[in-house]
Amino acid sequence: MNSLRSVERAARFEMRRHAAILADGGSILQETRHWHEDTGVTTSGREKSDAEDYRYFPEPDLVPMAPSREWVEELRGTLPEPPHEKRARLQEAWGFSDLEMRDTVGAGALALVEDTIAAGATPQAARKWWLGELARRANESETDLASLGVTPADVARVQALVEEGTLNDKLARQVLDGLLAGEGTPDEIVASRELAIVSDEGALAAAVDSAIAANPDVADKIRDGKVAAAGALIGAVMKEMRGQADAGRVRELILDKLS
């Protein structure tokens, strides 16, 4: 064996070989086997039919043990859920595809996503933040997700603020900036940075009027039925309000004024 990779390959080959022999009703022969790196198989080298051939000797400080079936089952009940079973259970519960689950596990985000869901976020939202924005920040800082300093409870709260309409995704990313900088809780960061979406109808209407006045050619296109042109005015309003306007509501106000 010249590498741990070879040890793994040889062990896996032997597991399959033993299983095939036992399935056919055979028995496993004690022997030394040779591993062939090029073909990926083992072949018999020298039989060792008795323990003496291995130079085994008794250990006087170890006594024979015969645990009862009840004790074995009691100990079995204390074991944690096997990782593969847990992953299968969570994937089904969360509705993740095989690719989504593989990426979540590969990113080291399984426990973080699980805890974020437990804190109130939906599975897809939890996965979006951890494997999207936060994974990017972790890569930039050359650290792992769990060491970023952002907790599952923080992520769940950020998502809740988005769902409440207090933030949009762009503003939520600024809240993550604040969390990474240690500026407090998501709510404290929203307040200190004044990030909440503006819901004041008067302020929104004034910004819409300003955008229409500054872009009369675009306004004329909308009046002529080219509704897609509203995107330019929405962008102007969002820029004026530092991204803190509800884009959907801005669109409604623009179409109402120019219909």
233-257, pLDDT tens digit by residue?
Answer: 777 777 776 776 667 677 777 777 6
- Average pLDDT on 99-103 reads 95
The answer to whether the beta carbons of residues 91 and 103 sit under 8 Å apart is: no
Top-confidence residue, 83 or 56: 83
Query: What pLDDT, on the 0 to 100 scale, is given for residue 215?
Result: 78
> Is the predicted pLDDT of residue 28 greater than 80, yes or no?
yes
d(C-alpha 247, C-alpha 131), whole Å? 26
Query: What pLDDT, on the 0 to 100 scale, is given for residue 188?
Result: 94
Query: What pLDDT, on the 0 to 100 scale, is given for residue 202?
Result: 66
> Is the predicted pLDDT of residue 217 greater than 90, yes or no?
no
Query: What pLDDT, on the 0 to 100 scale, is given for residue 221?
Result: 76
135-182, pLDDT tens digit by residue?
A: 999 999 888 898 998 999 999 999 999 998 888 888 899 999 999 999
Query: What pLDDT, on the 0 to 100 scale, is given for residue 17?
Result: 95
What is the overall mean pLDDT for the chain? Answer: 86
- Average pLDDT on 180-194 reads 92
